Amino acid sequence: MGGLAALAREAGHKVTGCDAGVYPPMSDQLKALGIELMEGFGVEQMQLKPDLYVIGNVVSRSRLPSGEPKFPLMEAILESGAPYTSGPQWLSEHVLQGRHVLAVAGTHGKTSTTSMLAWILEAAGLEPGFLVGGVPLNFGVSARLGNVAAGHARNYFVIEADEYDTAFFDKRSKFVHYRPRTAVLNNLEFDHADIFDDLPAIERQFHHLVRTVPGQGRLVVNGLEESLTRVLAQGCWSEIRSFGAAVSDFSAVGEPHKFDVMQRGHKVAHVSWDLGGVHNQLNALAAIAAAEHVGVAPSVAAQALGSFQNVKRRMEVRGSIAGITVYDDFAHHPTAIRTTLDGLRRQIGKDQRILAIFEPRSNTMKLGTMKSQLPWSLEQADLSFCHSGGLDWDAHAALASMGNKAQVAANIDELVSQVMAQARKGDHLLCMSNGGFGGVHDRLLKALQQK
């Protein structure tokens, strides 16, 4: 929604917004754009009398224990008959219409892959618009309109395509609104347990996306994912390019930070960059295959990736004190935690320690649906520290099999104390959360400075 606000502002609209507990980097971006942000969802905001309310999917018709509505502003909008729409619907009608949309879908890697693809197109001179669920460091903003000249042959828009539902009044996945001509299906496993009953339910939504891609469009599909094979088996009417597996259209030979790009067995490019992890190697292949669909040669795409700077909160180094490095990463799903840890382990080797500091904050993790996978996801860490505040399940029990390699803290102060009691020179403190995590990164750096 912050990126959408930025697009509306760039298009010339006066934009205000409201939310609860906003945190960087989006809060900083909105402030820099001059977008006024109000805390909470009070009825008094009706006095702004906007032409249109754009509703995010955090808003619901739920009520507090007192019986009062949780979102009184939404109730006032409905009572007054004021015009409103969803974020994806607004994008479809006001930004994406008439453009070649390149959409990146998947359980993991959407933000990174979308950022890679946007940067490849930018480096190739295509001046794309984009909307990313983070802040790509190459651009410094999460969204821009790009070249929207009427009839311009290079009118591209790259968008992160989320399978989460659109709004309380539209339970379709967001990505069905985007109608891409190029669609990346990066991976697919169970997530969002708060709205999906099982993996087949999510596979059906992905097939809804497949149905919207035109016949001369392209689907870029991870050849390692059985779930995506099942999606395509439900019907496919577009060109398919696979990546990842040795027999795929696009594959990699070499280490994640330095590898050859193979197209049907022939070397077509070489990527040498600062990123690590097999997941980023796969993300790169997906971006290269998608860029090829709009005429960017794999060799040009690979060269662009050499200067790719990743996204804020993706293995972002927040500071290093006394030989101890603190990282911030967005990982929250068990698979993402495992791949993030694997990437860092490949980068630093086996002799240095990784201290994994995480909070199960996503709706899926709060429900405890995947708590049994946590020990598996943390195998590459030497020590693990879990912030259990707000959980309805027993984190101690979930991590019991890890023995003294795992500790649980009920609040941030306790968490910082636990980490500081164990941290020593040469350690890597990897903080993982899809929220602000109580500012734990700065608090750890401050504690290290004092120590």
19-38, pLDDT tens digit by residue?
998 777 778 888 888 898 89
**What is d(CA 187, CA 67) in angstroms, rounded to the nearest whole number?**
41
With 0-12 / 13-18 / 19 or more C-beta atoms within 10 angstroms meaning exposed / middle / buried, residue 50 is middle
The answer to whether the Cα torsion of 114, 117, 119, 122 is positive or negative is: negative
pTM comes to: 0.79
Structural domains of the chain, ranges and CATH numbers in brackets: 2-82 (3.40.50.720), 89-305 (3.40.1190.10), 316-450 (3.90.190.20)
Identify the helix (H) or strand (E) that includes residue 422: helix 412-422
Of 375, 372, 315, 371, the residue nearest 345 (C-alpha): 315
Amino acid code (one letter) for 426: G
**pLDDT given at position 192:** 64
**pLDDT given at position 434:** 82
**pLDDT given at position 149:** 65
* ∠ CA 52-25-171, rounded to 5°: 45
- Least confidently predicted of 90-104, 115-129, 144-158: 144-158
What mean pLDDT is predicted for residues 371-381? Answer: 91
Instruction: Write b or e for each residue in 155-193: b if 16 or more Cβ atoms lie within 10 A of its Cβ, otherwise e.
Output: bbbbbbbbbebbbbebeebbbbbbbbbbbbbbbbbbbbb
Identify the helix (H) or strand (E) that includes residue 418: helix 412-422
Backbone phi, then psi, for 377, in 5-degree steps?
-70, -25
Backbone phi, then psi, for 259, in 5-degree steps?
-150, 155
Mean predicted lDDT score pLDDT of the chain: 91
pLDDT grade for 447, boundaries at 50, 70 and 90: very high
pLDDT grade for 118, boundaries at 50, 70 and 90: very high
Q: Token pair of 326, please?
A: 């603190």
**pLDDT given at position 313:** 75
Q: Kindly calculate the radius of gyration of the chain based on its CA atoms and give it in whole angstroms.
A: 22
**What is d(CA 117, CA 104) in angstroms, rounded to the nearest whole number?**
9
**What is d(CA 31, CA 12) in angstroms, rounded to the nearest whole number?**
17
Of 272, 27, 274, the residue nearest 142 (C-alpha): 27
